[in-house]
Amino acid sequence: MSRTRAIRIVVLAALASVVTIAATGARGSDLTPVYEARTPSGNGIGKVYMGREIANVMSHRRMSRLDRPGRERDERTDLLVEALPLEANDAVADIGAGTGYFSFRVAERVPDGVVYAVDIQQEMLDEIERRKSEHGVDNIETLLGRIDDPGLSEQSADLIFIVDAYHEFSHPREMGEAMYKALRPGGHLIVVEDRAESKSRSSGALHNMSEAQARKEITAVGFSWLRTESFLPQQHFLVFEKPASP
């Protein structure tokens, strides 16, 4: 095979790969590209969804940041947990659970229910299991998700919540569709993200989201937006619902 022909084959294969990636997440036979590619920015992966570049995932090596002193005071995480619409026997999914900072707090609110602590890093789940054993908590179940699917059973959750993690989903369309299937009709999805509208945030721009962007992405997979609450000092608290009937 000539060198020129070999190069041409490699180029064509690369182009085919790009087309496949772009079409990933399209519903049914709709091959309209879902994702676009660009040169990655400092905090991004170079993959663009609905005009937003997706941010890098926080490594388990930085897990101590999730339990940092002062987090409750700075972010009012106590108010966040209190605001979640929960019943004592609810099944709740914490997507991007990390070390379980919120999973353990929510577990106290659903003593007769269960919290599915979902993360794509086994090291995070191992830490949750360690803490479960240490504190004798038995209503948290850890679940190793995939980058495109949290691994929840269909209609298995009354509430799903995501705190400061949605913007890092490398496959937001697929994750959104999977979460929609996992919720029971009438169930709620809570998305909490640092406000992009705030000029006082020190984190990288891609680790913030505007209300408009979050609403655009979440409603695109079928959820209905109910309201956005502003009681948190730094974050949007967006409430979505899976319609009770199609």
pLDDT score at 65: 66
Distance CA 108, CA 40 (A): 41
Average pLDDT, the chain: 85
pLDDT over 90 percentage in the chain: 71
Architecture of the domain delimited by 58-241: 3-Layer(aba) Sandwich (3.40)
Mean pLDDT of 137-162: 97
**Is 25's pLDDT higher than 80?**
no
Domain ranges of the chain: 3-52, 58-241
pLDDT score at 236: 95
Confidence band of 20 (pLDDT split at 50, 70, 90) = very low
Distance CA 205, CA 196 (A): 7
Give me the helices (H) in 116-167, please.
Answer: 122-135
Among 20-29, 68-77, 147-156, where is mean pLDDT lowest?
Answer: 20-29
Q: Give me the amino acid identity at 86.
A: L
Q: Tell me the backbone φ, ψ of residue 74, rounded to 5 degrees.
A: -75, -40
pLDDT score at 69: 82
- Residue pair 128/140 in contact by the 8 Å Cβ criterion: yes
Beta-bridge mates of residue 93: 116, 160
Please tell me which residue, 12 or 99, carries the higher pLDDT value.
Answer: 99
Write the DSSP assignment of 110-123 as a string of letters.
-TTSEEEEEES-HH
pLDDT score at 201: 47
**Is 208's pLDDT higher than 90?**
no
| Whether pTM exceeds 0.85 | no
